[in-house]
Amino acid sequence: MSRRRKKCRCCGELFLPCAQTYRQQITCDKEPCRTWRRRRVQMDWRIKNIGYDESRGAKLAQWRAAHPQYWREWRAQHPGYVERNRQGQKWRDATKRGVLAKQNEWTRFTDGKYRGMILAKQNDMARSGVT
Ligand SMILES: [Zn+2]
């Protein structure tokens, strides 16, 4: 059986899917399309598992209380990471303040759309008394 080409759901171009994952594969193997697909899968997962962060947050807080020096020591052992993260945080803060106007339109659109869906689901759960 010969494989047929599929249309990438991100860029719309035709591509030849991998034989083993023909049915699942919805995007081509270009990096922006793969990033888009991963982002989508992660956002869908968050919507499906809406209470995950809260329950995980409580567990993490418990663990941090039991290991108060862990992150201080870890940062001392990984100065490269600390510096990289510091630069990244400066960038993220600047983006948030609107100093850097360049933002990907598509990212903004999907973020807004999914954030709206998450809020709607949380409201539904609150109304039905699930949480
Ligand atoms: Zn594509």
Query: What distance in angstroms lies between residue 13's CA and the mean position of ligand 1's atoms?
Result: 6
Q: What is the pLDDT of residue 114?
A: 62
Query: What distance in angstroms lies between residue 115's CA and the mean position of ligand 1's atoms?
Result: 24
| Residue numbers in the chain where pLDDT is lower than 70 | 1-2, 99-119, 121-122, 125, 129-131
Q: What is the pLDDT of residue 64?
A: 94
Q: What is the pLDDT of residue 123?
A: 72
pTM, two decimals, is 0.48
Q: What is the pLDDT of residue 33?
A: 96
Helices (H), the chain: 31-48, 52-66, 70-77, 79-97, 105-127
Encode burial over 64-100: b for 16+ CB neighbours within 10 A, e otherwise. eeeeeeeeeeeeeeeeeeeeeeeeeeeeeeeeeeeee
Q: What is the pLDDT of residue 25?
A: 93
Query: What distance in angstroms lies between residue 2's CA and the mean position of ligand 1's atoms?
Result: 21
Query: What distance in angstroms lies between residue 34's CA and the mean position of ligand 1's atoms?
Result: 8
